[in-house]
């Protein structure tokens, strides 16, 4: 039985990744290639604080820019939440159409949310929501100082994270 549990976990991750890849290919998602994520000093500390004090899922909208294959996160905000529990969150869109957004240096990059269960991979709903969005990155907080970012081109291996 002890050998079966790791096998089931790996199998679940692989099946979820294949499901995500099929969805993203079906929707013909074309994104800029992103090789790493850069955050500002204090960002991880804020995520740790939110993670430690929340028993339900929460989500943050990430803003910044993409510079030479690096997603640079410069700020975040919380969208309106309609429902949240330990397994799910329903929230409003992170970005509304703004004609002047084309002139702004800071743009919507994606979202980051926690998994109170400490699961560090994308779930089915994460993949579905990510695929339907126009986001460049999605992040998962699955423990203190444990953050993973993914792109549509690689839903299994997380990106390298650096602090500005």
Residue 115 CA neighbour count, 13 Å, CB half: 18
Q: Indicate if the pLDDT at residue 124 is higher than 90.
A: no
- Counting the structural domains of the chain, the total is 1
As a whole number, the mean pLDDT across the chain is 79
The owner of tokens 């500390």 is 45
pLDDT of 60-111, one tens digit each? 999 999 888 899 999 999 888 788 777 777 778 886 545 555 556 678 899 9
- Quote the tokens at residue 118: 């400490």
Q: In CATH, what number is assigned to the domain containing residue 136? A: 3.40.140.10
Name the residue range of residue 88's domain.
4-163
pLDDT of 18-69, one tens digit each? 666 665 554 444 456 888 999 988 999 999 999 999 888 899 999 999 888 8
Residue-wise burial string across 15-45, b where 16 or more C-beta atoms lie within 10 A, e elsewhere: ebbebbbebbeeeebeeeebeebbbeeebbe
CB 76 within 8 A of CB 62: yes
Q: What is the DSSP string of 91-136?
A: E--S----GGGGG-S-EEEEEEEE-TT---S--HHHHHHHHHS--S
Q: What is the DSSP string of the chain?
A: -TTHHHHHHHHHHHHHHHHHHHHHHHTT-------EEEE-TTHHHHHHHHHHT-SS--EEEEEEEEETTEEEEEEEEPPPEEEE-SS-EEE--S----GGGGG-S-EEEEEEEE-TT---S--HHHHHHHHHS--SEEEEEEETTEEEEEBTTBSSSPPEEEE-
Distance between CA 121 and CA 17 in Å, rounded?
9
């Amino acid at each position: 039985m002890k050998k079966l549990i790791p096998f089931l976990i790996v199998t679940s991750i692989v099946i979820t990744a294949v499901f995500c890849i099929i969805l993203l290919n079906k929707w013909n998602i074309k994104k800029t290639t992103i090789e790493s994520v850069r955050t500002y000093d204090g960002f991880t500390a804020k995520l740790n604080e939110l993670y430690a004090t929340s028993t339900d899922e929460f989500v943050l909208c990430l803003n910044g820019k993409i510079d030479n294959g690096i997603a640079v996160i410069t700020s975040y905000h919380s969208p309106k939440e309609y429902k949240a529990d330990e397994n799910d969150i329903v929230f409003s869109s992170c970005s509304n159409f703004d004609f002047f957004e084309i002139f702004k240096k800071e743009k919507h990059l994606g979202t980051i949310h926690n998994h109170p269960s400490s699961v560090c991979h994308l779930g089915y709903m994460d993949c579905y929501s990510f695929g339907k969005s126009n986001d460049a990155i999605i992040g998962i907080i699955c423990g203190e100082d444990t953050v993973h970012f993914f792109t549509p081109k690689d839903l299994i291996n997380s990106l390298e994270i650096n602090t500005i």
